[in-house]
Structure 1
Amino acid sequence: MEDFAAAYGDRARAFTERLVRFETTAGDEAPAQEWVRDRLADLGFETYTWTADADTLADHPSFAPADDLVSGGRPSVAGVLELGDPDAGRTLVLNGHVDVVPAGESGWTVDPFEPRWDGARLVGRGAVDMKSQLATCVFAARHLADRVEAGEFDLDGRVVVESVAGEEDGGIGAATAALSNPYPFERDAAIVAEPTDMRVVTATEGCLMGRIRIEGTPAHAARRWEGESVLPAFESVRQAFADLEAERAETVTHPLYDRFETPWPIVIGRVEAGTWASNVPGTLTAELRVGVAPGESLDRVEAACRKTLDEAATEESWSVDPPTFERFGVQFASAEIGADEPVVTALQGAMAATGLSATDPTGETYGSDARHYVEAGIPAVVFGPGRIEEAHFPDESIRWPDVLTAGEALVGTARRYLADERR
């Protein structure tokens, strides 16, 4: 039997190219998902479709309120292949998301939604995050089923390939699937095929999204001494959170994050101050993202943020009203599974057989849809080709040989995992 690259490399490449051409930003996933569902059906998968429900997500601490996130029709789709006696074996989910972040207008040297090949690299929005990986999941599952059907080996169980919507918005498709099982069977484990640079990621970081408000006294610029600018106060806040980041790097430790100098980053990503250039700025809003370590609660991190603000506001240089802090938007919980989970050991064995050496579990400073499955009691490991440093950037790209190697590893993982236990 041919290996993955020989059997399905060309079809995976064509699938990815077509998928990149869909501009699947938030709320615009439906056309691509219809296409994915039809391709899954053509390949012999039994297909399922579900949409995120605002009421269901409202009960989840990551999403409330969720009305804006689910508007516009944001379907998720999946395909199922049954092997041997499916009820006698395990069910493995191969998960990918179809949505992408906006491309913007600066920095790109090519049309973001027209795939371009630069030697062995595919360039386009979603090339690395994560349409190549989604294609790999589809054809890895199909290749495994082909080998079973050809009598190369016997397996019982199911492989599910998911193309979910809204991962960049916190994972509305995966969260719905985890909270309200869309299948008439249970799921035993999942592989979330995010770009991990072919490493086994068993821990993913969470993040707290916070909004700080500072109020001073506006005044005409010609009489600026009559007002109280919020900018010096904000500088105190900015420095206080830089100090908090450094403190947390020393005091919040985790063995899978030793390679990071800043394991729990704090980024103030948006600041808006004042209302007019000729006025002393009397209001300021700052929005920040705070990394949350595996095993650490969002509430604990929020308490640290509030304490940091309170202490900044007691400094002698502070001359405006006390600042306020509130959560906003989607919150990411952290997630972690044990290195001895069968899906992890199956992946490690398949990677070694494929010639990949970095098989020791590690942690990552980003979040993923894996957390929703872990929260639902479904062990989920993150593994895929490509580097996260390429994601969300202009001229996003991925090395295609890595995609093919990952496909072979996924085939081997599914085979090992399903063969490991027959119920």
Structure 2
Amino acid sequence: MADDPADTSLGKFVDEFLRFDTTDGNEAAAQAWFRDRLEAFGFDVYEWRADAERLAAHSSFPDDPAEIAVADRPSVGGVVEFGDPDAGRTLVLNGHTDVVPADRENWSSDPFEPVWSDGRLTARGAADMKSGVGAAVFAARDLVERVESGDLEGLNGRVVVESVVGEEEGGIGAAAAALDNPYPFDRDAAIVAEPTELRCVTATEGTVMKRLRIRGRAAHAATRWKGEDVLPHFERVRQAFFELESERGESVSHPLYDEYPIPWPIVVGIVRAGSWSSSVAGTLTAEWRFGVAPGETVDEVEAQFEERLAEVVEASDWLSEHPPDFERFTIQFEPAEIDADEPVVQSLREAMTATGHDDTDPVGATYGADSRHYVAAGIPTVVYGPGTVEQAHFPDESIDWAEVETARETYVEAAARFLQSK
């Protein structure tokens, strides 16, 4: 690797990719650039767009197609072929181009002006996950070079590199590709390049998103006793939900999640109460995220929290007479898991050993990923990539560039083994 990673071909590619602000559905310009780069590199390029009506029938998305933003959001896939491609396997290297918004006040630099310092790259999307996408692109190029140079022989099959849209919104591009194959060939397996700290993730957690509305009665602060404050009612619900989280941590077990202190975490991310500082808070809205273990369904976990809420309501005269609303909103993530004996997992673990990883054992992740869409479509998918989820969505999001180069090398080795093993 060069002394300055920003001067390498991969570094320049990722640096330019990161300069596109791909928040809030604004992926089109970056995807056009990505397509142009793939074509310049010699990939056969495919493009697809999601259909909102089709996604509305999917469990991850809202039932109303109007709530699913698909306009001007192309996903792009680049294909390289080896030997007799139809006689071998097809491996997809998948990543997403969209990023979450950046609160610029909490950043020490412009989130979309990459900063290179002491072997680390800082920018929105550096870890989640444009560096991983870049590593996949250059891994496919490296594999072509190794075959053309005679370093690798007997390879048959294809490698597909994808940059999909809307992962942070439920996986718009990946779900569309899983529902309706955009390629004229079948896909045998996939690796999703999310930041896993270079660990092999074979299970991802699901998510239920629910909005709770509690109604009290507003009153003037001078006659507070005339009102019905929603906050004590919310506190009882909050306590009951976190008690259920603890119970689920004891009763729902999975061997890949033993290392987590809270294996199926919940969070109340947004709480809004009241309308005036001099009035008793008469309304409250809270938005929740509930973890779903591999082997469970979104519906099962949702029912558990609805039952616990019903117990709180039953114990309160006020809530019994004024029952809260508790409904799904936005997107839902089903959990996903594949067997460690799947060929793609074996190929990845062998590649990890070859590129110097100390630990190749499969693990589980407490977040969801686009892998679930491919698994649901019958495409075994493992998650492996540079960076850590602890940097994802954070101010001054950064990544150790050495991990990006290691991921690149590992993707090459994994693809070679996967295509050679048939």
- TM-score norm. by structure 2 comes to 0.96
Amino acid at match of 2:74: P
1:52/1:70 contact within 8 Å kept: no
Q: Give the equivalent residue in structure 2 for 1:88.
A: 87
* CA distance, structure 2, for counterparts of residue 93 and residue 224 of structure 1: 61
* CA distance, structure 2, for counterparts of residue 363 and residue 159 of structure 1: 25
Q: Give the equivalent residue in structure 2 for 1:151.
A: 150
Q: Give the equivalent residue in structure 2 for 1:409.
A: 410
Amino acid at match of 1:362: V
Secondary structure of 1:106's aligned partner: helix
Secondary structure of 2:314's aligned partner: coil
Q: Give the equivalent residue in structure 1 for 2:339.
A: 338
* CA distance, structure 1, for counterparts of residue 283 and residue 342 of structure 2: 51
Task: Give the alignment of 1:345-356 within 5 angstroms.
Answer: 345-356=346-357
| CA-to-aligned-CA distance 1:313-344 (integer Å, 9 cap, x gap) | 23358666222211111000000000000000
Segment of structure 1 superposing worse, 312-321 or 368-377 = 312-321
* CA distance, structure 1, for counterparts of residue 6 and residue 360 of structure 2: 25
* CA distance, structure 2, for counterparts of residue 271 and residue 109 of structure 1: 28
Q: Which runs of 5+ in 2 are unaligned?
A: none
Q: Give the equivalent residue in structure 2 for 1:368.
A: 369
Displacement after TM superposition at 1:51 (Å)? 1.0
Task: Count residues with an aligned counterpart.
Answer: 419
Amino acid at match of 2:346: T
Amino acid at match of 1:301: V
1:106/1:394 contact within 8 Å kept: no
Q: Which runs of 5+ in 1 are unaligned?
A: none
* CA distance, structure 2, for counterparts of residue 5 and residue 183 of structure 1: 39
Displacement after TM superposition at 1:222 (Å)? 2.1
1:8/1:143 contact within 8 Å kept: no
Q: Give the equivalent residue in structure 2 for 1:281.
A: 281
Secondary structure of 2:106's aligned partner: coil
Displacement after TM superposition at 1:104 (Å)? 1.3
Q: In 2 relative to 1, CA 175–71 (structure 1 residues): closer, same or farther, beyond 3 Å?
A: closer
* CA distance, structure 2, for counterparts of residue 259 and residue 218 of structure 1: 46
Amino acid at match of 2:328: R
Displacement after TM superposition at 1:8 (Å)? 12
* CA distance, structure 2, for counterparts of residue 346 and residue 9 of structure 1: 31
Amino acid at match of 1:144: L
* CA distance, structure 2, for counterparts of residue 136 and residue 373 of structure 1: 21
Q: In 2 relative to 1, CA 25–316 (structure 1 residues): closer, same or farther, beyond 3 Å?
A: closer
Secondary structure of 1:280's aligned partner: coil
Secondary structure of 2:104's aligned partner: coil
1:49 aligns with 2:47: yes
1:171 aligns with 2:201: no
2:6/2:116 contact within 8 Å kept: no
Amino acid at match of 1:110: S
- TM-score norm. by structure 1 comes to 0.96
1:5/1:408 contact within 8 Å kept: no
| CA-to-aligned-CA distance 1:111-161 (integer Å, 9 cap, x gap) | 100000111000000000001000000010011011112222220000000
2:5/2:119 contact within 8 Å kept: no
* CA distance, structure 2, for counterparts of residue 104 and residue 411 of structure 1: 36
* CA distance, structure 2, for counterparts of residue 117 and residue 394 of structure 1: 16
| CA-to-aligned-CA distance 1:184-241 (integer Å, 9 cap, x gap) | 0000000000000010000000000001111112222222211111111001011111
Calculate the aligned-residue CA RMSD, in Å: 1.8
Displacement after TM superposition at 1:281 (Å)? 1.5
1:217/1:227 contact within 8 Å kept: yes
Q: Give the equivalent residue in structure 2 for 1:204.
A: 204
1:271 aligns with 2:271: yes
Q: Give the equivalent residue in structure 1 for 2:138.
A: 139
* CA distance, structure 2, for counterparts of residue 195 and residue 299 of structure 1: 28
Amino acid at match of 1:295: G
1:4/1:408 contact within 8 Å kept: no
Q: Give the equivalent residue in structure 2 for 1:315.
A: 315
Displacement after TM superposition at 1:69 (Å)? 3.0
* CA distance, structure 2, for counterparts of residue 9 and residue 76 of structure 1: 28
1:120/1:401 contact within 8 Å kept: yes
Displacement after TM superposition at 1:304 (Å)? 0.6
Q: In 2 relative to 1, CA 188–8 (structure 1 residues): closer, same or farther, beyond 3 Å?
A: farther
1:7/1:143 contact within 8 Å kept: no
